[in-house]
């Protein structure tokens, strides 16, 4: 983008979203001053009409989720959620990490949905699309709003994040964990600080994420180390060291997912490779296509998370051997759903018993 310096950003440009009827091409017209402009984060507010979204995907361990934000300032170049920004008529490129949507007020909407007589409790997932603990949570506090409602209803929840701001909520999470209502997955993609800075520019450094795992574990919160995504030819050699570091920090379970490049993410990631790892770009993409039957991505259930073929089989075997050796679990005990109950409201008729 002429005149724009995307320092601290993952994407190198703004690809046109697949629903847009016209393409936009940025070029120098001589009117802008010669000095570069830094790309700033913009936040818009959304009035939420619903809080819980449902899915029927057979390869996901949850059927419902809450997303406090749309877009993610962490700017991870590999993020499979980038294409969702196209539904907002925004680019999955730089727009995804600079033009964000916050959803304050979602707590009241969530409470209404949980009080519905038709609601059937099951584990609520948070952080499944974009990170609920991205930097703007400091100002907007939408995630805290959601947690307070879930705690009041004694609703089980599972959080996925790479944001250290989760430490702010240890008071709520440790209380819920003590009741069998909470667990956290922390994503650690690499232990290489320089690579992480380029690949996940506004996420916490790897060592800082390990410290977050330690602090959560010390508070009695079960933590899963999520080695996701594993990028063939770039980070796959780190599988065992990452698992070891996370176990040493206090994680008790682990999982991994292979790199996924749906829709616009594929070209964004290839542009990033050409810029930051040109010597490995061809190898990485050749391995990615090998995983998906010659394609850059296969969205088929049962294949999209791990791929198939020799490399996929090797990664699966390495993972099993590593978790067995380190004493990490793949499955954690189920969380409690029997405690779920709507809290009394002011003016409600109290029970005699």
123 φ, ψ (degrees, to nearest 5): -60, 130
Q: Which domain holds residue 242?
A: 39-326
Asked if 182 and 157 count as a contact pair (C-beta separation under 8 A), the reply is yes
Residue 69 covered by a domain = yes
Provide the 8-state DSSP code for 15: P
| Token representation of residue 263 | 């829709």
Residue 306 covered by a domain = yes
Let me know the angle formed at the C-alpha of 330 by 122 and 293, rounded to the nearest 5 degrees.
Answer: 95
Domain total in the chain: 1
Average pLDDT over all residues of the chain:
91
Residue with tokens 């819920």: 176
Residue 2 covered by a domain = no
Q: How much of the chain, in percent, has pLDDT values that exceed 70?
A: 90
Residue 254 covered by a domain = yes
Res. 1: pLDDT tops 60:
no
Residue 19 covered by a domain = no
Provide the 8-state DSSP code for 211: H
pLDDT (0 to 100) of residue 349: 64
CATH number reported for the structural domain that contains residue 70 in this entry: 3.80.30.30
Residue 352: pLDDT band (50, 70, 90) is low
Res. 208: pLDDT tops 70:
yes
Average pLDDT over residues 305-316: 92
DSSP notation for 75-107: --TT-TTGGGGGGGT--TTHHHHHEEEE-TTHH
- Taking only the tens place, the pLDDT of each residue in 126-167 is 998 999 999 999 999 999 999 999 999 999 999 999 999 999
Count of positions (residues) in the chain: 353
Residue 346 covered by a domain = no
**How do strand 124-126 and strand 157-161 relate by DSSP bridges?**
parallel
Residue 171 covered by a domain = yes
Q: Which residues contact 131 (CB under 8 A, 6 or more apart)?
A: 69, 72, 74, 160, 161, 162, 163, 203
Q: What is the pTM of this model?
A: 0.91
Residue 9 covered by a domain = no
């Amino acid at each position: 983008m002429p005149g724009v310096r995307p320092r601290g950003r993952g994407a190198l440009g703004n690809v046109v979203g697949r629903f847009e009827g016209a393409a936009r091409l940025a070029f120098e017209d001589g009117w802008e001053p010669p000095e570069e402009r830094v790309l700033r984060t913009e936040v818009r507010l959304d009035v939420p009409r619903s809080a819980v979204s449902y899915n029927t995907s057979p390869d996901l361990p949850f059927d419902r989720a809450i997303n406090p934000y749309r877009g993610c300032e962490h700017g991870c170049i590999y993020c499979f959620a980038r294409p969702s920004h196209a539904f907002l008529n925004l680019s999955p490129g730089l727009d995804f990490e600079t033009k964000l949507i916050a959803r304050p007020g979602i707590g009241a909407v969530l409470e209404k949905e949980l009080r519905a007589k038709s609601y059937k409790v099951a584990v609520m997932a948070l952080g499944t699309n974009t990170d609920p603990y991205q930097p703007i949570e400091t100002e907007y506090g939408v995630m805290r709003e959601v947690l307070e409602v879930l705690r009041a209803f004694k609703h089980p929840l599972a959080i996925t994040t790479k944001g250290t701001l989760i430490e702010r909520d240890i008071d709520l999470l440790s209380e819920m964990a003590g009741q069998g209502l909470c667990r956290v997955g922390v994503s650690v993609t690499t232990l290489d600080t320089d690579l992480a800075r380029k690949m996940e520019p506004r996420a916490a450094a790897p060592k800082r994420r390990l410290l977050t795992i330690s602090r959560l574990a010390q508070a009695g919160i079960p933590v899963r180390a999520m080695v996701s995504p594993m990028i063939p030819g770039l980070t796959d050699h780190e599988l065992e060291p990452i698992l070891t570091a996370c176990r040493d920090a206090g994680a008790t379970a682990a999982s991994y997912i292979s790199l996924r490049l749906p829709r616009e993410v594929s070209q964004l990631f290839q542009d990033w490779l050409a810029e930051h790892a040109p010597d490995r770009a061809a190898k990485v993409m050749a391995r990615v296509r090998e995983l998906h039957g010659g394609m850059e991505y296969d969205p088929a259930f049962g294949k999209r998370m791990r791929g198939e073929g020799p490399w996929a089989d090797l990664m699966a075997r390495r993972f099993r051997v590593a978790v067995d050796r380190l004493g990490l679990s793949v499955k954690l005990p189920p969380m409690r759903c029997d405690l779920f109950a709507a809290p009394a409201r002011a003016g409600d008729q109290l029970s005699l018993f």
